[in-house]
Chain A
Amino acid sequence: MPLGWLFLLVLLIAALGYALGRRRALAGAGGNLRAMHSLPGAYGWNVAMAVLIPSLIMLALWTALAPFVLDRMVAPLMAGQEGEISLLMSDVRRVADGLVRLGEDVSSVQAEGLRDRLAEVGVAVGQDVSDATLAAAARYDVLSARSGWALTVLVLAIALGAAAWSLRRITPGLRARNEVETAIQGLLIAAALVAIATTVGIVLALISNTIRFFQVYPASDFFFGATWSPSFGGGSELGILPLVWGTLYISAIALLVAVPLGLLSAVYLSEYASKRVRAWAKPMLEVLAGIPSIVYGLFALLTVGPALLVVFGDGGLGWMQGGTAVITAGLVMGIMLIPFVSSLSDDIINAVPQAMRDGSLGLGATPSETIRQVVLPAALPGIAGAVLLAASRAIGETMIVVLGAGAAARLSLNPFEAMTTITAKIVSQLTGDQDFTSPEALVAFSLGMTLFVVTLCLNILALWIVRRYREQYE
């Protein structure tokens, strides 16, 4: 039975279980709601969950694991080297699948010319179909059909068994609500675990590949090398320092633009702007945060770069050679970060108690004295947190750098030169056909790991500062 139908059938059993459970609970109490521990619906849900949880887990596990088990059972039929087996096995699966589409029976079909016939129905097979492949495909067919039946029977048995068991348990005194709530709590925990497990998985993947990289390339050369010149022919120099320098330089310029502008607009919005101005100005600023960074990248490449070139290029001051430069990317990234700084700072400034302002105004301070000497110092830890969050955003930014800053890795103080960052180099090391065992490709993972550690530290610092600030006023 196809999986979709099986799934619907399980849902149907659960729905029936809900109705029956509800009715049975009501009947047991003689229709008197006060004699029951929980509301009738809770008894229904109790049955429905008893059906759904085990049978869906079974369905998921079987579907996930069956292909591996089938492969292991069929693989001995094929003769081949280790790397080859997996290629052959994918052919076997394609042939088995293709024969179903052709409407041919495995036992009667000829191996000769099968590849072309399969191609006609849109199934591409790696090599000509041999007798061994065909035999394996036949075996695969049989086994997967059996697996399908076994799954159907097993899941339906579990669903019906669970329904019967949980229906029998129902008495008016059953603490159905508590059980349902425990199950829901479990569901919530599972949802949270998915996010955590994904994070852990990403970190583990990064770490294992970083270790592989350091096995083929010395760590000291990576961390302290001042040259970045990957060449896929071998003999690359993969020093991270020029990339770190480019990242920090561009981020610093971005923050130099974003922090003053963001902070001043936050002060205006929270302290001076009338309600009407605030009502449209704040959303307008936040629209900036919604613009995809690739659009900012285009803006850098097509507008800001050429504009800067007019002033600083050969026609003007003669400092700038091309439109792509540190200053281009930094300026545009700064504009992108303004809403981050202003929106967070605005919230933080608003969180400073009105009593603080009243106290200062009541002493005869002007509004601007109040802001400079009372409100901003009180909000400072939170603002520092906002700036650090913006900084970690700047360090992780890719698209603006790829389009606006150029691709040359160099250590230079001149902001009008092209430079590049860690993120942009990760992109260039992994795009195109790559051999994932070469140091030139593996270096991307250790670059990613370095970036991850840096932004993680910044985020932790920022959250710590923000939290400390919050404790002060609650």
Chain B
Amino acid sequence: MNDMRLFERAAAVDGVKIRAQGVNVHYGAAHALKDVSVDIGDRLVTAFIGPSGCGKSTFLRCLNRMNDTIPAARVTGTIALDGQDIYDRRVDPVQLRAKVGMVFQKPNPFPKSIYDNVAYGPKIHGLAKNRAELDEIVEKALRRAALWTEAKDRLQSPGTGLSGGQQQRLCIARAIATEPEVLLMDEPCSALDPIATAQVEELIDELKQNYSVVIVTHSMQQAARVSQRTAFFHLGNLVEYGETGQIFTNPSDPRTESYISGRIG
């Protein structure tokens, strides 16, 4: 997949998919995210890095309004998806989340069969007219998540019976089955072994042909391997955001350099 000649990596920018401006998040009295402005490019992998508690997951959850489920969270500023403010009163978070899918840190397959796990999203959004179409969607999603060969003979067995890496790929298949435009991944590999991690990273690389992918990761190698853009968060501030190659080889902020070289974090 990616080589490490970071400077020469092509970052073809089709345009801005998500534009966040002056985003602040408060959890009760705690100020978790301070005035963050980021443009997330279309058909690119954007990585958020930074030490624990720096606000990168909080920001990720703002992008599909998952913070709405936490009563104490308060979000200000604007986040626009294709120019439409997602915190506008007219936007239904349910519709938004169909467009902005999410994969979580720990694989969380539903206690249903593998088939029903993948078919869940298409069913609730009415994407399939009949059973044959649904079968097709499920197969396509499983193929793109590189799970088809392992799962095709056991589609009716429970998703919880898969191994950790397979479960995470199942969750990715579940997320892409609803055909989102943006895929948010919150440390998708932190519960996986190196082999499963490599499979998921390969998958992310393929996904960027169709989607914008935003990935939160603790592994700087992972950020360097899979992303074209990197944002470095520290203590709730966005410290630096730019081409991944530039961030890792020639950061402009001393804090970024300290973090990347392992002195803080």
Contact = CB atoms under 8 A, between A and B. Distances in A.
A287 interface: no
A309 B223 CA distance: 75
Given A369-B124, A373-B124, A361 B97 contact: yes
B77 interface: no
Report the 6 A-B pairs with minimum CB-CB distance, sorted nearest first.
Answer: A364-B98, A362-B102, A355-B108, A364-B97, A359-B108, A363-B121
B143 interface: no
Name the prevailing secondary structure of the A interface residues: helix
9 contacts: A358-B69, A359-B104, A360-B120, A361-B66, A362-B103, A363-B101, A364-B121, A364-B124, A366-B124
Interface string A436-474: 000000000000000000000000000000000000100
Given A358-B66, A358-B69, A369-B124, A363 B111 contact: no
Interface in A343-362: 353, 355-362
Interface string A24-68: 000000000000000000000000000000000000000000000
A356 B111 CA distance: 9
A365 interface: yes
B112 A377 contact: yes
B212 interface: no
A355 B64 CA distance: 16
A419 interface: no
Contacts of B137: none
A374 interface: yes
A211 to B, nearest CB: 47
B174 interface: yes
Nearest to A357: B69
Contacts of A353: 108
A362 B120 contact: no
Interface residue tally on B, bucketed by range: 20 to 34
A364 B94 contact: yes
Given A358-B66, A378-B111, A365 B124 contact: yes
Most buried by B among A353, A361, A369: A361
Contacts of B174: 359, 363
Interface in A370-408: 373-374, 377-378
Interface residue tally on A, bucketed by range: 20 to 34
Contacts of B178: 363-364
B104 A362 contact: yes
A377 B111 CA distance: 8
Nearest to A379: B111
Given A355-B106, A356-B108, A364-B98, 4 more contacts: A353-B108, A363-B174, A364-B121, A378-B111
Contacts of A472: 111, 160
B149 interface: no
Contacts of B160: 472
A361 B178 CA distance: 13
Contact of B120 (A363, A366, A378): A363
Most buried by A among B71, B95, B110, B125: B110
B106 A365 contact: no
A362 B66 contact: yes
Interface string B95-133: 111110111101011111000000011001100000000
B95 A359 contact: no
A162 to B, nearest CB: 58
B138 interface: no
A29 to B, nearest CB: 50
A276 B109 CA distance: 32
Contacts of B109: 359
B97 A362 contact: yes
Contacts of A275: 71
B110 to A, nearest CB: 5
A207 B104 CA distance: 57
A363 B175 contact: yes
Contacts of B86: none
A230 B71 CA distance: 64
Given A358-B66, A369-B124, A363 B98 contact: yes
